[in-house]
Each structure stands twice: as C-alpha cells, then as structure tokens.
Amino acid sequence: MTGSTGSTGALTVLRFHLRRDRMMLFWWITGNVLLYYSQAVSTDGLYTTQAELDRAAAGMESNAAFIAMAGPARALNTLGGQVAWQAAAFGAIVAALMSMFLVGRHTRAEEESGRDELVRAAAIGRHAPLAATALVVVIANVLLGVLLAMSLVSYGLPAAGSWALGLAAGLTGLVFGGVALVAAQLVESTRAAYGITGAVIGVAYALRAIGDVGNGALSWLSPIGWGQYLRPYAEEQWWPALLSVVAVVVLAVAAVMLFDRRDIGSGVWPARPGPARGSLGSASALAWRLQRGSVIGWTFGMLLGGVAYGSIGDDVEDLLGDSEFSKDMFASAGNSVVDSFYATSAVMLALIGSGFAIASVQRLRGEEGAGFAEGLLATALPRWRWAVAHLVVTLVGTVAAVLAGGLGMGLGFALVTGDGSAVLRLTGATLPYAVPVLLLAALTWLAYGIRTRWAGVGWLGLGFCFIVMMFGELLQLPGWLMDVSPFQHLAQTPAEDFRVVPVVVLLAIIAALSWLGMAALRRRDLVTN
C-alpha cells in the first residue's frame, strides 16, 4: 500500500506547506474578504436612501463600460446586488491569483530551488507533493468561500446570496488553481507557469467582459462568468457550480497525467533557449530589461484603471448620492462635482501608481540582496551609474504610468460623454500628480541608500498619503500632519487651476532627497551574503 506511485506522506507534506503558508494565506484571504465587505460598507455609506440607490443603479445598468469591467448588472438597486457586482469579478481574480501563487510556490519554485529533491528523497509517494499542493489550494479556497459568505451574512446580507458569492469566489479560485497545476507541469520555470496561468485568467476576464456587454454567450466560456451566473442576491441558480466542479476535476486529472509523463525538474515542453550572444551592453540596457515587464504591465493597468474612472462620465452626481461621506470626499474643492470627482480620481490613480514607483526603486535592493550587484559592481561600472540606470527607469515608468492613467480617464470620459476635448484635459490634469509620486520614490531611494532594509519606508509613506487623502478630514487630523503628504500641496486639477510653485518646490525636495540618497549609497558597504 505504500507504492511508489501513491500519495503516501501527502498529509505530512501538507502540514509543512500550511506551516509555511499561514501568513500568506491569512493576508490573501483576509484581503479578499475585505474587498467584498468594504463594498457593502461603502455602498451603505454612499447611498442613504433607496431613491438614491435606485437612481445610481439606473445609471450603472446602462453603462456598458461598467458592465464590461464588473459583470452583468443584476439587482443593482439592492445592497447585495451592488456588492456582488462591484466585487465579484475582481474578487474572483484575486482568488485565482492566490491559487496561482500557491501552486507555483509549491511545485515549480520548489523544483527550481532543488528543495523538491530533498523532500522527494524522503519516504513519500511520487504524487505526494502534487496532492499536498492541491490540498493547500482546496483548503485556501474553501476558507475563502466560507469566510466571505459568513462575513457578508454577518453584515446583514441575505444568506443564500452570500453563500452563492462565497461559492463563486472559492470555485473560481479552484478552477484557476487547476489551471496553474497544469501549467506547472508544462513548463520548466515558475515564471513561465505564472505567465500561462496569468494569461488564462486574463482571457477568462476578457471573455466575460465581451460576453456580458453582448449577448452573454462568451461569458459561458469563462470560469469567472460561471461564478457570476450563480446570480448571487438575484434569484440564485446553483447548477453553474457544476461547470466549475467538472473543470476542476478535469484539470486535476490532466495535471496528474502530465506529471506522470515528465521528469522531475523539467517540463512537458522543453525550456526555450535564450540567445547565445547578448545585446545588453550597459547598465541602462540591463535596468530596462529587468524592469520593462513591470513598466509595461503597470502602464497598461493604469490605463485600464483610468478608463474605469473615466467611464463614469458625467453621471458622477447620481452615482455619488447625497451622503455626507461623498460630499466630504468629492465636493471639498467647492467646484463642480464632476471636476472634483476627477481631481480625486487623479490622486487615487497617482496613489496606485506609487506602487510601481516604490517597487521600482526597491528593485535596487532586490538586485543587491540577490547578489546580482556584486558581480556587476566588480566591473568598471561605478556604483552611482548602476543606481542611476534603475532610477531613470523609475522616473520614466512613473511618468508613463501616471500619464496612462490620465489618458485612460480622458478616453473613458470621452467615450461615454462624446466630449473629445476631455482626453487632453484630464491627461493634463493627472500629470502633475506624478510629482508627489516621485517624491515617494525619492524617499524610498534615500532610505535604501542609507540602509537596504529601510527601503520599506516607501510603503509607509504611501500608506500615510493614502490615509490623509481618504480619511484625513474624517479623522480630523491636524493640519500640519496632513501637510506632510506631498499630495496635499498640489492644485486639485482639474477642479482648480494648475499652480507651478508647489510642483517646483516638490521637485526641489526630490532633487535634494535623491542627492542625499546617492551620497549615502556611495558611503556604505554593499550588502553581500
């Protein structure tokens, strides 16, 4: 019974996996549950009367861009319908990504590092690591579904709809876990496996977007669509869950069959060889090569995010309702609500784009910590030029990402309202917000320059700016504290006229921080292992 093809020892491996994953699982699941829960809270906060909600729902139902982004509009004049609509598509993607990373980390990453060999040398069955990985994914998604449903029920939403929503999230996560498990058998590297799974997630999202806007046929080809066809809070139908279950079983069987056909450490598809000769000849070329994927991804993502904001068009007033919260958030500039809304949206986009800027600077820390910098800096490449090469990518990428966000917003707005001049106006209004983003990047750089471990300060800075912007008024933070956020000092374009002085002052601060960061980096020891 302890045959070499069995899954003997799977439970031992599983326990080990769960021990390693507990923090990761906690954050992914909590984050995703909060994503849904916060929709309930914010919808409640935004619309104080049913009449407001009805008005907003009418606007949303007729907005094709919204439907393409979120899903079919069902029961939008109920709280549950709003939660399901706003969160389900993104929640499904988050669940899918969680499954993908869980699978990658326990299959390909382990084989690449050689740790898998160590485990396999123990008295465990051939299929035990695979089975343990699958079990981790099942446990994670069941936990997600159950906690999600329970949190929404506890908020006071109808039980059937809440469980349908939880089931949808969990099942979608499982299906993409199956996809990831198959991908992990096909290719040799973790990265490539993520690439395949990510592409399948993207295609599934696109299929349901096109399907939902059109006659719905294509949505039935998408696992994300299957989840949404459970119709949470809108006369639930349960049978589409079977589609997901069948898909999970088929994918799991396929993964096992593929696994049996390959050697440990290699994929069904042989690894693609790279070029025998290199074209990289400078630190800048290398920095771009290392960061281009992230620059392109973020720029594209910011464009889509911008379209999401822009496609709200000038229905802003209806959507926002009359609550105090929305007045606080959007009407503070005292100008037209539409312009104020887009000023806030531009800051929002810039805050999101800060994620790129900070991560891009931290790339230096990654290169240094991984030991890549050691070999590089032993060549005739001066330390400062190595750093500048990466920082230039940060600068260009940040401006590109923020510009793309503004452009997307303008395009979305122009498409919905037919006002073509909005493209330039909103792009121009968003661009200045790249400056405070760069300030956060400069802060990260200075911290990194002094001590690599301090580079995380950038995220603290971003968190602070975010809290000031979202809750500063609400929490009645003292003025001087709010003024620490660089975003507070810019003119709130497009609601206000652009002002040059704050931008120049911020640029001067950025220059000073950058200079200090360079001075610090040139004085300290390189981190080596």
Partner 1 sequence: MKRCIVGSMDSVIDITGLVKRFGHTTALDGLDLQVARGEVHGFLGPNGSGKSTTIRVLLGLLRADAGRVSLFGQDPWRDAAALHRRLAYVPGEVNLWPNLSGGEVIDLLGRLRGGLDEKRRAVLIERFELDPTKKSRTYSKGNRQKVALVAALSSDVELLILDEPTSGLDPLMEAVFTDCVDEFRDEGSSVLLSSHILAEVERLCDRVSIIRAGRTVESGTLADLRHLTRTSVSAELVESPSGLDRLTGVHDLVVEGARATFEVDTDHLGAALEALGRFGVRTLTSQPPTLEELFLRHYGEDVSS
- State the minimum distance, in angstroms, from the CB of residue 16 to partner 1: 24
Q: Which of 1, 121, 378, 501 binds partner 1 (CB under 8 A)?
A: 378
Instruction: Give the single-character DSSP code of 272.
Output: P
Q: Which of 290, 331, 507, 509 binds partner 1 (CB under 8 A)?
A: 290
x-or-dash string of contact with partner 1, 180-209, rule CB under 8 A: --------xx-x------------------
Q: What is the 3-state secondary structure (H, E, C) of 298-363?
A: HHHHHHHHHHHHHCCCCCHHHHHCCCHHHHHHHCCCCCCHHHHHHHHHHHHHHHHHHHHHHHHHHH
Nearer to partner 1 by Cβ, of 187 and 234: the residue is 187
Q: Is 463 in the site for partner 1 (CB under 8 A)?
A: no
Phi, psi of 492, rounded to the nearest 5 degrees: -80, 70
Span near partner 1 by CB under 8 A; candidates 55-63, 89-97, 277-285, 330-338: 277-285
Q: Is 263 in the site for partner 1 (CB under 8 A)?
A: no
Q: Cα–Cα distance between 78 and 235 in angstroms, integer?
A: 12
Q: Which of 11, 256, 331, 381 binds partner 1 (CB under 8 A)?
A: 381
Name the helix (H) or strand (E) containing 409.
helix 383-417
**Is the distance from CB of 103 to CB of 121 less than 8 angstroms?**
no
Nearer to partner 1 by Cβ, of 158 and 366: the residue is 366
Q: Is 372 in the site for partner 1 (CB under 8 A)?
A: yes
Q: Degrees (nearest 5) of the Cα angle 209, 212, 215?
A: 130
Amino acid at 351: L
Q: Degrees (nearest 5) of the Cα angle 477, 483, 486?
A: 125
Q: Is 382 in the site for partner 1 (CB under 8 A)?
A: yes
Span near partner 1 by CB under 8 A; candidates 172-180, 234-242, 302-310, 374-382: 374-382
> Residues touching partner 1: how many (CB under 8 A)?
38
**Using CB under 8 A, which residues numbered 383 to 442 contact partner 1?**
383
Q: Which of 374, 456, 470, 498 binds partner 1 (CB under 8 A)?
A: 374
Q: Six-digit token pair at 170?
A: 């969990």
Q: Which of 3, 19, 23, 275 binds partner 1 (CB under 8 A)?
A: 275
Nearer to partner 1 by Cβ, of 283 and 462: the residue is 283
CB count within 10 Å of CB 239 equals 8
Q: Cα–Cα distance between 379 and 476 in angstroms, integer?
A: 54
**Using CB under 8 A, which residues numbered 96 to 115 contact partner 1?**
112
Q: Six-digit token pair at 199?
A: 């592409």
Positions touching partner 1 (CB under 8 A) are 112, 188-189, 191, 271, 273-283, 286, 289-290, 370-372, 374-383, 523-526, 528-529
